[in-house]
Chains A and B, each alone.
Chain A
Amino acid sequence: MTIKELIPLIEAKELTKEADLNKEVLCGYTCDLLSWVMGHGQEGMAWVTVQTHMNVIAVALLSDMACVIMPEGIEMEKESLDKADAEGMCVLQSPLSSYEICGRMHEKGVPAE
């Protein structure tokens, strides 16, 4: 599944402008402890988190993730979005809960890892 296909699935909108939406989503994850995520982050991961600060983008970039997803309509800070755009990381915002987002991704065949 590409990011472009993921967007309607989780009723998301894209908060970034520069990311490549044809990138493949290879797996999904949800966690808000950044150092925990560093230990489990993988290439192509779609990561759902309520954290909004700059370090989220740093973690996503270092793990070569596909995108970061803000659940429940959470807004990401402008500085974080600017950094994401500068580095080509995609940030999505969904009105759904983390649980619902992961459930829908899993149902459509996006594995845990």
Chain B
Amino acid sequence: MSNTLLHAEYPVEAEDYTCAGEASADIKRKLKQLGVSANVLRRVAVASYEVELNLVIHSDGGVLSLEVTPDRVRLISKDRGPGIPDLDLAMREGWSTASETARSLGFGAGMGLPNMKRNADEFDIKSKVGEGTTIQMGFLLT
């Protein structure tokens, strides 16, 4: 089962707007070095930035993981809470529960989750209030 070409984990802290985007920049850099095509690279970059920002804006902190196998790039975001009460509503474009701080920085357009789903080839979100949210995205390389 060891066909993993690359694995990296990035802890992301809640409300750390200064470092926001650093994990995504590193992911993009690593994938570029691996020779991933420009199209996949761009889609992964958008999705990883959105999921990283979601961890900063909405979660109590979590970890963003990158895994690359010969056939796909996988991004997994796992947070420590608080969980999403209504996933259908959260997936709706324009719906956002972002804080005033987040909005003043230009976030909270309610585009995060829809942007992720649009850019990934595979998208799965599971959430439990009081426990946390896990988002898995796959980007096909073949």
Contacts and interface: CB of A to CB of B under 8 A. Distances in A.
Main SS at interface, chain B: helix
Contact of B25 (A43, A51, A58): A58
Contact of A39 (B17, B53, B115): B115
Interface string A29-46: 000111111110101000
B105 A35 contact: no
A58 B45 CA distance: 10
Interface string A53-81: 11110110111100000000000000100
Interface stretch (B65-73, B76-84, B106-114, B132-140): B106-114
B107 A34 contact: yes
Contact of A38 (B17, B22, B50): B50
Pick from B49, B106, B114 the residue with the most CB of A within 10 Å: B106
Interface string B78-106: 00000000000000000000000000011
Interface in A10-47: 32-39, 41, 43
Contact of A63 (B17, B45, B114): B45
Nearest to A54: B18
B7 interface: no
Contacts of A43: 38, 42
B25 A35 contact: no
Interface string B1-30: 000000000000000011011101100100
26 contacts: A33-B108, A33-B109, A34-B105, A34-B106, A34-B107, A35-B50, A35-B53, A35-B110, A37-B106, A38-B49, A39-B114, A39-B118, A54-B17, A54-B21, A55-B20, A55-B21, A55-B105, A58-B20, A58-B21, A58-B25, A58-B49, A59-B21, A59-B49, A62-B21, A62-B24, A63-B45
Interface of B: 17-18, 20-22, 24-25, 28, 38, 42, 45-46, 49-50, 53, 105-112, 114-115, 118
Given A33-B111, A38-B115, A58-B20, 10 more contacts: A35-B110, A36-B109, A39-B115, A43-B42, A53-B17, A54-B17, A55-B105, A55-B106, A55-B107, A61-B25
